Chain A
Amino acid sequence: DAKTTQPNSMESNEEEPVHLPCNHSTISGTDYIHWYRQLPSQGPEYVIHGLTSNVNNRMASLAIAEDRKSSTLILHRATLRDAAVYYCILRDRLPTNSGYALNFGKGTSLLVTP
């Protein structure tokens, strides 16, 4: 199974950009990189995903290294509501080979201070 490595925690000031790193050195050529986040006492929610090119959406940007062995989730202006655990995920093929399951590690706990 492909694995990811993330720092346990990071801290940011409100309204400043945040760069959350992720290493995935064993990624295969067809693996998408997914990011989810989990706000306190809530279920995980999708943030962004990408394959090779940098991606942007209304929540964040995803910068993917040229060799695809690492990526960075970018929150352009952190708010207090962005305080959450952020998971960088490479999915696992289901045992029946019929789809995928999300392989959650411990993620990065982001603290945002006013």
Chain B
Amino acid sequence: NAGVTQTPKFRILKIGQSMTLQCTQDMNHNYMYWYRQDPGMGLKLIYYSVGAGITDKGEVPNGYNVSRSTTEDFPLRLELAAPSQTSVYFCASTGLAGARQETQYFGPGTRLLVL
């Protein structure tokens, strides 16, 4: 049971380039999330998904897109990278969303630098 895995671990992008951050969980969780963390700050929610085929915006969705074609995978797409998207990106999942006692499981993160 690997939990939540993310690839790549680190990436440097040039302004205007695009890339996809991969996230996979093997816990059969319905709910998945993408957060970003800027230096010295807490995490902010970008997008979330309540199940395959269903996604919605979080607090900071501009410049990103997501898809959820399977329960396991929740990729995050950056279409036109900007320096403001330099951050660490965390994917998370939970199987008890809606229940007040749910806990989220996080991946190790992807560190992105846009130059």
Which of A13-21, A66-74, A97-105 is near enough to bind chain B? A97-105
CA distance A30 to B103 in the complex (A): 16
- Kindly supply a per-residue 1/0 record for chain B positions 33-50, scoring 1 wherever the CB is within 8 Å of any chain A CB and 0 otherwise: 101000011111100101
B74 at the interface (CB under 8 A from A): no
A11 at the interface (CB under 8 A from B): no
CA distance A46 to B58 in the complex (A): 21
Q: Which residues of A from 56 to 97 have beta carbons under 8 Å from B?
A: 87, 94-96
Known contacts: A99-B98, A104-B43. The answer to whether A44 contacts B50 by CB under 8 A is no
CA distance A99 to B33 in the complex (A): 11
Instruction: Give the contacting residue for A95; candidates B56, B90, B106; CB below 8 A.
Output: B56
Question: Closest CB-CB distance, B50 to chain A, in whole Å?
Answer: 5
**Count of chain B residues with a beta carbon within 8 Å of a chain A beta carbon:** 30
| Residues in B neighbouring A106, C-beta threshold 8 A | 40-42
Instruction: Give the contacting residue for B43; candidates A42, A44, A96; CB below 8 A.
Output: A44
- Kindly supply a per-residue 1/0 record for chain B positions 73-115, scoring 1 wherever the CB is within 8 Å of any chain A CB and 0 otherwise: 0000000000000000010101001101111111111000000
- Scoring B33, B97, B98, B103 by chain A CB atoms within 10 A of each residue's CB, the highest score goes to B103
Question: Closest CB-CB distance, B87 to chain A, in whole Å?
Answer: 13
B50 touches A46 (CB 8 A): no
Extra inter-chain contacts (18) besides given A51-B100, A96-B50, CB under 8 Å: A31-B100, A32-B100, A32-B101, A34-B103, A41-B109, A42-B108, A42-B109, A43-B4, A43-B92, A43-B107, A46-B103, A46-B105, A95-B56, A99-B31, A99-B94, A100-B102, A102-B43, A102-B45
